[in-house]
Chains A and B, each alone.
Chain A
């Protein structure tokens, strides 16, 4: 078929009901402190990776809660696991363990092992 160069762009809307919430539920079960995040951004402010890259743990948390797995898949490798965010979090969210847990369950999900 002849291509005219037009494409259909993916909508920007977070379609909550169509999204896959399996990763959210797995991480919430393994690390319940995720539910305590109030998105203050303290984790992202102290993050060494965030000074040089687009990595933001605050965005990872929000994306998890909305079932935006693709964003997490793209961004989760940006964390260097230094754990400064965990020391600072005012709500006691075990942020470093969230990254661990996300990586573990994401690879299980992607390998259809869940």
Chain B
């Protein structure tokens, strides 16, 4: 029996849910708050660990998403989801209230606002950029300082907005370490004379072929790694950046000049998703991400019957894991709907 499922969030997880549910014969409404679907992945140039164009994943999702009866609303914010009997009411600021048999929340994450770590100088020094801004430069095929020069030396700071009590984030965002390695290689490939230094606390190469990419960055691209959290960046009279870091492996403080500093901004629960959760009586965990009914076997299930979670709204995830989590959410919806029919 065909049912109506509303998917909230048009990033990779939401698009995968919509596509799969459509293929199963359900009527699907996908609601995205931004002007376009594709989420953060659509802004990325290449993906780790194999450096395929991010575009390919978006193309796959667009293709599978149009196979079934899927209606997409962009520029639309969902205010709340409430339950009445077996029906769920989805309140939006666009098409008004939608009735759904099941709902998937796939509101994803927001990138940490790097300006909050004022000591790194984002928004103060022009050559301090974020990992997302560097992806934009890769799209344009050029990584240049604001004065239009190729940087001789680039520093990459890991864990910006992650593992940092001072900004209220205890959690690890997981994907920034391997993003740093990927971007370091891309910089070296684009500009063979540029030195790249990564400043890390731990190298968390959790996924398949991540450790291999890390090794490749050392073996083939001579990327240097300094273990220690940068305490501050400042600017020289000549306009270069100076960073201070404790080189914890040498056991001494280290000072170094750079032409460009890239901040690996971490993941925070999406503000819009958190607002929706509060309005709908859903529960966030201590880290702010949405808490499923069981940490091991119920991360897709919300306390509200018929409402499911998909992707990085429950925890920082890479694209591969977001897609798997999305398919698991679709399975949960499918089981729920078949019970409704009985």
A residues neighboring B (CB under 8 Å): 12-17, 28, 32, 35-36, 38-39, 58-59, 62-63, 65-66, 68, 91
Contact = CB atoms under 8 A, between A and B. Distances in A.
A81 B56 CA distance: 52
Contact of B249 (A15, A28, A32, A62): A62
A16 B219 contact: no
24 contacts: A12-B252, A12-B253, A13-B252, A13-B255, A14-B252, A14-B255, A16-B254, A16-B255, A16-B256, A17-B255, A17-B256, A17-B257, A28-B222, A32-B219, A35-B222, A38-B203, A39-B227, A58-B249, A59-B249, A62-B249, A62-B250, A65-B224, A66-B247, A66-B254
Interface string B20-53: 0000000000000000000000000000000000
Contacts of A65: 224
B218 interface: yes
B233 to A, nearest CB: 14
A66 B218 contact: no
Interface in B255-278: 255-257
Contacts of A12: 252-253
B206 to A, nearest CB: 16
A58 B251 CA distance: 12
Interface residues of B, number: 17
B305 interface: no
B215 interface: yes
Contacts of A35: 218-219, 222
Contacts of B218: 35-36
Nearest to B245: A14
A72 to B, nearest CB: 12
B298 to A, nearest CB: 37
Nearest to B222: A35
Nearest to A12: B252
A15 B253 CA distance: 9
A59 B247 CA distance: 11
Interface in B181-235: 203, 215, 218-219, 222, 224-225, 227
Contact of B247 (A14, A17, A28, A32): A14
A62 B249 CA distance: 7
Contacts of A14: 247, 250, 252-255
Contact of A13 (B224, B249, B254): B254
A38 B249 CA distance: 10
Contacts of B250: 14, 59, 62-63, 66, 68
Contacts of B225: 38
Nearest to A65: B224
Contacts of B255: 13-17
A39 to B, nearest CB: 5
B254 A36 contact: no
